Amino acid sequence: MTAAVLEVEKPARTVRRGTGKIVCGGVIVALFVLAAVFAPLITTGDPLHQDLLHRLAAPSAEHPLGTDQLGRDAWTRLVYAARIDLRIGILGTVLPAVLGSVIGMIAGFGGRALDAVIMRISDVIVSFPLFIFFLALVGLVGAGSGWFFLGPGEVPMLIGFTVISWIVYARLLRTEIRRVRSLDYIRAATTGGLPRRRIVLWHVLPNAIGQTVVYVFVDIGLAIVALSTLSFLGVGIPIDTAEWGAMISASRGVISTNWWLVAAPGFAIALLAMGLALVGDGLDDRLKAA
């Protein structure tokens, strides 16, 4: 009797869900980061250098994106602007993410009374219009003392993003913590006598923090778009600074003749936001497929 030979087919190698989005978005973001880091090597030098004899020059080998109204090289300003937008976008997301996550943990693990107080405070803050808040923040002046005057700049932007954006992270983590706490394995760990601290740090948080990490990448893009919008309106970064929104605002008067001065920073904002959104969407697909 011939022995039967069982052939086991090897499963086809599959690409993990979301990998393509993560790689594509990661490449886009990495290019912006590298450009910001190595800006002195890929530009002509000073983004504030003025050459009034060559104002509004057309794109050329010497000036790939031409020059603006003050004769400043548009390509140099575009690349150096990535430093400011990335810095504020990242810090303007990480700071509220940390603050909101801590508050969300307190609400998620605290009692009903504490949770209700935190949620009502967040309701009050979220009801306040974002741009009105920034206008009030930038124009904040102390009685007779210039020390309290903030004005446009990085610090008011970071303060504003932190005060407004922590709410999203607090609510998101609070909801995830309460969902994970209701799962059977958490109840089993509690019944089994595991210390509360161990359950929180090793079982609840690692399984509740995923959506927060995903949203961080999306929120960096949103922060950059918000920063550019505020700078365009004159309440973000000063208009003479190399920042994408400020560049668009400064060049809007010549859009009919030198449209690339507006199109280039607008394209940079859209491309970077898309790259960050792809990374976040890919990570979300990974979590759903896990």
For residue 67, the tally of other CB atoms under 10 A from its CB is: 26
Identity of the amino acid at 48: L
- In degrees, rounded to 5, the angle at the alpha carbon of residue 29 between the alpha carbons of residues 91 and 176 is 60
State the pLDDT at residue 142: 38
Q: CATH for 19-43+69-289, among 1.10.3720.10, 1.10.10.60, 1.10.287.3510, 3.40.50.720?
A: 1.10.3720.10
Contact 163, 121 (CB under 8 A): no
- Domain residue spans in the chain? 19-43+69-289
Mean pLDDT, the chain, as a whole number?
84
- In degrees, rounded to 5, the angle at the alpha carbon of residue 244 between the alpha carbons of residues 141 and 159 is 35
Identify the residue whose tokens are 């929180």: 200
State the pLDDT at residue 5: 41
Q: How far is CA 262 from the centre of its chain?
A: 22
pLDDT tens, position by position, 169-218: 999 999 988 888 888 887 787 777 778 778 787 888 888 888 899 999 99
What's the CA gap between 24 and 15, in Å, rounded?
14
State the pLDDT at residue 138: 66
State the pLDDT at residue 139: 61
State the pLDDT at residue 143: 37
State the pLDDT at residue 263: 95
State the pLDDT at residue 281: 92
**Low-confidence spans in the chain with pLDDT less than 50:** 1-14, 141-148
- What SS3 class is residue 142? strand
* Phi, psi for residue 60 in degrees, rounded to 5: -150, 180
Q: Which residues pair with 266 in a beta bridge?
A: none
- In degrees, rounded to 5, the angle at the alpha carbon of residue 144 between the alpha carbons of residues 139 and 148 is 45
Identify the residue whose tokens are 């090897």: 10
Q: Which residues pair with 142 in a beta bridge?
A: 145
- What SS3 class is residue 195? coil
State the pLDDT at residue 7: 42
Distances in whole angstroms, Cα of residue 183 to Cα of each of 115, 204, 210: 20, 10, 16
What's the CA gap between 65 and 258, in Å, rounded?
10
Which token pair is 154?
């990085």
Q: How many residues are present in the chain?
A: 290
